[in-house]
A and B are shown apart, each in its own frame.
Chain A
Amino acid sequence: MLKSTPKLESTEKWEAQIRKGCLDLVILASLWKTRLYGLEILRVLEQNSRLVVAEGTVYPILSRLKEEGLLQSEWVEAEAGHPRKYYWLTAAGRLKIVSMAHFWKGFAASLNQLLVPVLNGKDDKGEPS
């Protein structure tokens, strides 16, 4: 079994911080097309963004986003027997996610540009590193 080194641990922590920072964006984006309940949102997170988070993490964030006026919710009696709380974007939520998406697009493009030589494995002189 590969023993985790300090460098690996710090990378994992960094990745966890990145994922955590993107949660608002991903949760709001998951609700762009349709209304979903908590477990469905988690499935979207896992399938579309590879964001695997502790499941209980999502619900406090949903509560906060609702308090901020970005989401609205209602309890719906499901055929399964127990009710489910469905969420959908408010008008303010739609504006917010559009703004966030544009920011992310520009930010990711700048970052990708910066990382091209790193991914190509070359130093600042163009020599293989």
Chain B
Amino acid sequence: MNLTHCIPMVDTYFAQLNSKLSDLPVERRQDFLRELRAHVLDRLEQVTAPSVDDCRSVLKALGTPDEIARQYRMEMILRTSSWRLSPFKVLRTTLRWTVAGVQGYLVFVVALIGYILSASFYICALLKPFFPKNVGFFVSDAGINFAQFPVQYGQEYLPNYFIPICIVMGYLATFGTTLLIRFLVRHLSQLRKKI
């Protein structure tokens, strides 16, 4: 099979697709691209002497790099195990979506606030053993406070349960933020069109 006419067009196509999926792990990206390239070769094998138009038709039937990259991201978001995604991966992905407009920016801000909140709970749990009198659930006239240096004011409540409560709250905040991001991505139509 002579693909001399097709190779530059195919290489350009996959270079574009590779660029669209550049934030994916290298191994996963290369495997995906390899599979699509095999598909293109299978299609071209059905033609005795594929011309440039044949190559163009095969790539058109496959879909544009934008469409494939968007579909791939959507499928990875929708997979049932996606709630196990690392907060760092989710934040990095949502940061890319800020270029998709106001909705993308909103999703990023929600993710940032949610994960900062969960990190705060974990940090409080971590600091409590080292600063027992400065870190905790304190209620005073000024309001509720979790940490204050050098001196803490107010009365502390639930001192013995503060660490496990913070760990649970941190986990719930992480889990809830990830679920909320998934929900927003599914229902924000403008964002779905652009990612």
Which residue numbers of A lie inside 8 Å of B, CB to CB?
A: 37-39, 54-57, 59-61, 63-64, 67-68, 75, 80, 82-85
The contact of A59 among B35, B43, B79, B81, by CB within 8 Å, is: B35
* In the bound complex, CA of A37 to CA of B39 (Å): 9
Q: A59-B36, A60-B68, A85-B38 are in contact. Are A67 and B63 (CB under 8 A)?
A: no
Q: Which of B66-106 contact A (CB under 8 A)?
A: 67-68, 71-72, 74-76, 78-81
Q: Which residues of B contact A60 (CB under 8 A)?
A: 68, 71-72, 74-76
* In the bound complex, CA of A60 to CA of B34 (Å): 13
* In the bound complex, CA of A106 to CA of B43 (Å): 38
State whether A54 touches B39 (Cβ < 8 A): no
Q: Which residues of A contact B68 (CB under 8 A)?
A: 56, 59-60
State whether A59 touches B39 (Cβ < 8 A): yes
Known: A54-B67, A64-B78. 13 other contacts (CB 8 A): A38-B38, A55-B63, A56-B36, A56-B71, A59-B35, A59-B36, A60-B71, A60-B72, A61-B75, A63-B76, A64-B79, A68-B81, A85-B38
State whether B42 touches A57 (Cβ < 8 A): no
State whether B67 touches A63 (Cβ < 8 A): no
State whether B62 touches A54 (Cβ < 8 A): yes
Interface assignment of B32: CB less than 8 Å from any CB of chain A: yes
Q: A55-B63, A56-B62, A56-B63 are in contact. Are A63 and B38 (CB under 8 A)?
A: no
* In the bound complex, CA of A80 to CA of B75 (Å): 30
B96, chain A: closest CB distance, angstroms: 17
Interface assignment of B109: CB less than 8 Å from any CB of chain A: no
Q: Give me the 6 closest cross-chain CB pairs, A-B, nearest first.
A: A56-B63, A64-B75, A60-B72, A60-B75, A56-B68, A56-B62
Interface assignment of B123: CB less than 8 Å from any CB of chain A: no
* In the bound complex, CA of A75 to CA of B80 (Å): 25
State whether A57 touches B63 (Cβ < 8 A): yes
- Chain A residues touching B, majority SS: helix
Interface assignment of B11: CB less than 8 Å from any CB of chain A: no
Q: Which residues of B contact A83 (CB under 8 A)?
A: 34, 38
Q: A60-B71, A67-B81 are in contact. Are A54 and B76 (CB under 8 A)?
A: no
Q: Which residues of B contact A67 (CB under 8 A)?
A: 76, 79, 81
Report the nearest B residue to A39, measured CB to CB: B42
State whether B39 touches A39 (Cβ < 8 A): yes
Q: Which residues of A contact B72 (CB under 8 A)?
A: 59-60, 63
B155, chain A: closest CB distance, angstroms: 50
Interface assignment of B61: CB less than 8 Å from any CB of chain A: yes
Interface assignment of B41: CB less than 8 Å from any CB of chain A: yes
State whether B63 touches A84 (Cβ < 8 A): no
